[in-house]
Amino acid sequence: MRSHHDIDKEADRHYRKAIKFYEALARRAAAAGHAVDVFSGCLDQVGLAEMKSMVNWTGGNMVLTDSFVTAIFKQSFQRVLDKDEAGDLQMGFNATLEVQTTKELKVCGMIGPGVSAAKKSAMVSDTEIGVGGTTAWRLPAVTARTTVGVFFEVANQQSQALQPGSRGLVQFSTTYQHARGDYRMRVTTIARSWAEGASPDIPASFDQEAAAVLMARIAVFKAEAEEVGDVLRWLDRMLIRLCQKFGDYRRDDPASFRLGPSFSIYPQFMYHLRRSQFLQVFNSSPDETAFYRHCLFREDTTNSLTMIQPSLMSYGFEGAPAPVLLDSVSMKPDVILMLDTFFHILIWHGETIAEWRKAGYHEQPEYENLKLLLEAPVVDTQSLLVERMPVPRYIVCDQNGSQARFLVSKLNPSTSYSSTNQYGGGEAVLTDDVNVSTFLSALSGLAVKNAS
């Protein structure tokens, strides 16, 4: 089957024709209000990369599994057909999302599970981000989990000064057909005060988690049509510009660079986004990449952040379970780690814990504490497996085992064959990737050097 290299070199002569064919079908399906779900159960590729528009443009579900007999397929399929207490499917159909704004704002576009409704107005911006050129979009199927990103720009002329205390208004109007047949409308209106460019209110109100997810959507959307290298350079430029505008530093002095609390973890999100499977496709098939990007385009901020920067919990004898750094220093022989990447739930046993388990110590009454330690992460993963759609892959592995690669690939390599970390301990990661510390140091240098 074709690889990303084949597609980039246009060695697969049927790929672009197939893309056009399925995009035409997707437009017809969306115009008719039909949603298309694709459930794939095969060890080989089935063409999801070609068919992705059928799902992404119609609000359907995409599930990629190794076989139709796996729990991932069975449970995900059942959740699509879940019903509420009244016996109705938990979804809406043939939805339309329309945006209205005050004159100071213009609509750049939307990135999410929908297509343009081709509604032109004076509120449409000349700058397109995602699906632009309209103020309304069709979403053939929506659920309580459906999330879209809508992008705006400030269009106020310099000659028209904003009045002190004035506000900009944005109204979202969503119309959809309920599963029982009746039509419903939900209207949400938000107001935000205007502020001058140098106002301290802007950094104080910055939501770095939401900003990271929106930037991820833009980057991945651009990666569908542009070279990944160009997208990475664009991400770097945007990050440097943000640091120059909101950072506190002295010109040409990287050691003086500081970011306020509202921006402190945003560079880390960008570091992990650059390394993520959304942009680094070397170890993924085209079908896997299409599946990963599909999920990012429709999930909320919390789940999207988990995809970008997975969460890591540590279980040990010294205290209660606690979140730890997504770092190689966290891999210790006497702890159990639980990694949540949204797509995978992984339980990792340190070398010492694994040896005790293999020796059967947890089955002996005098080692009750070891038994409880082994059971704790298993219990905590159950809520994630029950709530998430699609169902994540569940992995249990030991330190230095083959499947430990799912954990190691996500960690910040602060300890590698070519470097050590300031914390001490941890397992060395065999990689040439730079670590967070090196990335942030380079960012500081560029931000203060290029400052004007």
pLDDT for 24-36, tens place per residue?
A: 999 999 999 999 9
- What is the token pair recorded at 338? 């639980």
Q: How many CB atoms lie within 10 A of CB 32?
A: 10
What's the pLDDT score for residue 161? 67
Whether the CA torsion 281, 282, 288, 292 is positive or negative: it is: negative
What's the pLDDT score for residue 160? 65
Q: Which residues pair with 153 in a beta bridge?
A: 106
CA distances, 406 to each of 62, 70, 236 (Å)? 22, 19, 26
- What is the token pair recorded at 372? 């409880």
Q: Which residues pair with 116 in a beta bridge?
A: 137
- What is the token pair recorded at 352? 């010492």
Nearest CA-CA partner of 224 in 297, 323, 172: 297
Q: Which residues contact 80 (CB under 8 A, 6 or more apart)?
A: 37, 61, 389
Kind and range of the H or E run holding 38: strand 38-41
Mean pLDDT of the chain: 90
Helix (H, G, I), strand (E, B) or coil at 385: helix
What's the pLDDT score for residue 417? 56
pLDDT at 452 exceeding the cut of 70:
no
d(CA 347, CA 318): 19
Give per-residue pLDDT as tens, 42-54: 878 899 999 999 9
Helix (H, G, I), strand (E, B) or coil at 30: helix
Give per-residue pLDDT as tens, 81-93: 989 888 999 999 9
d(CA 80, CA 86): 16
385 phi and psi angles, rounded to 5 deg = -70, -30
Q: Taking residues 379-386, what's their average pLDDT? A: 88
What's the pLDDT score for residue 6? 83
d(CA 446, CA 128): 29
Looking at per-residue pLDDT, the higher value among 234 and 435 belongs to 234
pLDDT at 264 exceeding the cut of 50:
yes
| Owner of token pair 């590729």 | 45
**Minimum mean pLDDT range among 46-60, 370-384, 413-427:** 413-427
Q: Which residues contact 427 (CB under 8 A, 6 or more apart)?
A: 328, 331, 399, 408, 415
pLDDT level of residue 318 (50, 70, 90 thresholds): confident
Of all residues in the chain, the percent with pLDDT exceeding 70 is 94
pLDDT at 346 exceeding the cut of 60:
yes
pLDDT level of residue 422 (50, 70, 90 thresholds): very low
The one-character DSSP state at 184 is: E
| Owner of token pair 């035409």 | 24
d(CA 23, CA 18): 8
Q: Taking the mean position of all CA atoms in its chain, how far away is CA 241?
A: 22
CA angle 76, 286, 47 (to 5 degrees): 65
| Identity of the amino acid at 224 | E
Q: Taking the mean position of all CA atoms in its chain, how far away is CA 211?
A: 12
pLDDT at 73 exceeding the cut of 50:
yes
pLDDT at 432 exceeding the cut of 70:
no
Give per-residue pLDDT as tens, 265-304: 999 999 999 999 999 988 899 999 999 999 999 999 999 9
| Identity of the amino acid at 189 | T
Q: Which residues pair with 139 in a beta bridge?
A: 95
327 phi and psi angles, rounded to 5 deg = -145, 150
What's the pLDDT score for residue 450? 59
pLDDT at 129 exceeding the cut of 50:
yes
d(CA 374, CA 442): 41
What's the pLDDT score for residue 158? 60
pLDDT level of residue 420 (50, 70, 90 thresholds): low
- What is the token pair recorded at 302? 């919390």
| Longest alpha-carbon distance in the chain | 80
Looking at per-residue pLDDT, the higher value among 136 and 427 belongs to 136
Nearest CA-CA partner of 95 in 56, 127, 143, 63: 143
pTM of this prediction? Answer: 0.91
**Cis, bond preceding 390 (omega within 30 deg of 0):** yes
pLDDT at 148 exceeding the cut of 90:
yes
What's the pLDDT score for residue 229? 93
